[in-house]
Amino acid sequence: MKEKDKNLMAENQSPVSGFADTFFSKLKEQSFTIILMVGVIWYQGVMMEERVAYWQKLYEEQKTYIQQTAKEDKEVLLERIKYLEDQRDKYADDAIQELKTNKTIN
C-alpha cells in the first residue's frame, strides 16, 4: 500500500514541483561548494579593493613628490637665472665703466 501511495504521489506532482524538488535537493548537496565559492569571490573582491587603494595611495604620493620636486627645481633654476643675469649686468657695468675711464684718460 505504501508503494501505491508513492506512485500516486509521484503521478500527482506537477512538472514544476518535480523540478523544484530536484533543484532544491541538488542545491542542498552543493551548498558547501556554493558557500565556499561565494566566500572566495568575496575575499577576492576585498583583496582587489585593498590593492586598488594601495596603488591609488602610491600614485598620489608619487604625484605629490613629482610636483614638489618640480617646484624645487624651478626655484633653483630661477635663482640660477637671477645669479647669471646679475653676473651679466655686473660684467656689462664693469665694461662700460672701463670704457668711460679709458675715454677720460685719452
Helices (H), 1-106: 2-12, 15-105
Confidence of residue 45 (pLDDT cuts 50, 70, 90): very high
- Taking only the tens place, the pLDDT of each residue in 2-35 is 555 555 455 555 666 778 888 888 888 888 888 9
Residue where the block lists cell 633654476? 77
The grid coordinates of residue 45 equal 573582491
pTM confidence score: 0.51
pLDDT for 12 equals 56
- pLDDT: which is higher, 5 or 94: 94
Give the residue extent of every domain in the chain: 2-105
Residue where the block lists cell 587603494? 53
Is it the case that residue 60 has pLDDT exceeding 90? yes
Identity at 69, one-letter amino acid code: T
